[in-house]
Amino acid sequence: MTVLVIGEALVDVIDGRRRPGGSPMNVAIGLGRLGVPTVLHTRLGDDEDGQLLETHVRASGVALTPQSRGTAPTSVAEVSIDGTGSPAYRFAITWDPEPVDVAAGRYRAVHVGSISAMMRPGTSVLDAVLAASRASALLTYDLNVRPAIMGAPGPARARAEQVIACVDVVKASDEDIAWLYPGRPADQVFERWLAAGAKLAVLTRGARGARAATAATAIEVTAADVPVRDTVGAGDSFMAGMLAALDDAGLLTAAGRRGLPALDREDLRSVIDLGMRCAAVTVTREGADPPWRADLR
């Protein structure tokens, strides 16, 4: 069985150059390159940008649902990179995907995230998939906040927590939490998410590494010291690596829902470590270019 990723695919325009982008698509690409069979459900236009994205997805071993192609223009993000390699975004995006069939047993895990979890009318499709997949798939969510199009923190926080209550694994960056929960320590946010129903909560902190927690244990993992080209797609690569590690451990299934709370410190560290290794490769490259398995040896 395969993993289903639902969310935006778009073209990043960086210094006038057009590159494939979009957080959920990047996660799907990362999974495909790590050898995890993956299907992406998204929204691509019948235009050159849509063809660019489809070619990119398929070249990484990821399939597209038949419903992913439409007639409206493909979404675009104008990206500017500051002196630290961090990106800022300006979007021209529409998120109105077609419904997708998730009959029981078709997918063993479903990943959602970022703009697609927040933007109407597509949120209704995403919510329907999560509800229909709960019994047969592990559910994962990457907040990947984009303040420019997600509105005020209060409503965005309420929506994020609505999704978190439905999923098993939730990941956010320190910047995500600072925007959604100003002044609140990450530990308190984790407690809130785990109480809501998540089995594993993960926080990425850039060069300061990552923190992960279940109801029973918590760990911190340091980041590798590598030369940073830019950080575009680093969090997405981390997410893909973490999911691939769960797959390696046999936990990327509905049955894995019971195994996540039982992870000991070393097992949890192994899961987060693969995410960190994937992100460390990505930041040395220009744009969202996650590693293949061979790049990690």
Domain ranges of the chain: 2-296
pTM: 0.94
pLDDT of residue 85: 65
Strand partners, 80: 88
Tokens of 265: 């410190």
By C-alpha distance, which of 43, 82, 54, 112 is closest to 232? 82
Residue 93 confidence (pLDDT) above 90: no
Helices (H), 112-210: 123-133, 147-150, 153-164, 174-180, 186-196
Question: Phi/psi class of residue 166: alpha, beta or left (left: φ > 0; alpha: ψ in -120 to 50)?
Answer: alpha
Q: At a CB cut-off of 8 Å and minimum separation 6, what does 64 contact?
A: 39, 40, 41, 42, 44, 54, 57, 58
Average of per-residue pLDDT across 80-108: 82
Residue 223 confidence (pLDDT) above 80: yes
By C-alpha distance, which of 22, 160, 178 is closest to 87? 22
Q: What are phi and psi of 150, to 5 degrees?
A: -100, 5
pLDDT of residue 172: 97
247-276 residue pLDDT tens? 999 999 999 999 999 999 999 999 999 999
Average pLDDT of the chain, as a whole number: 93
Cα 206 off chain centre by: 15
Average of per-residue pLDDT across 274-285: 95
Q: In CATH, which superfamily holds the domain spanning 2-296?
A: Ribokinase (3.40.1190.20)
Q: Which residue has the higher pLDDT, 30 or 70?
A: 30
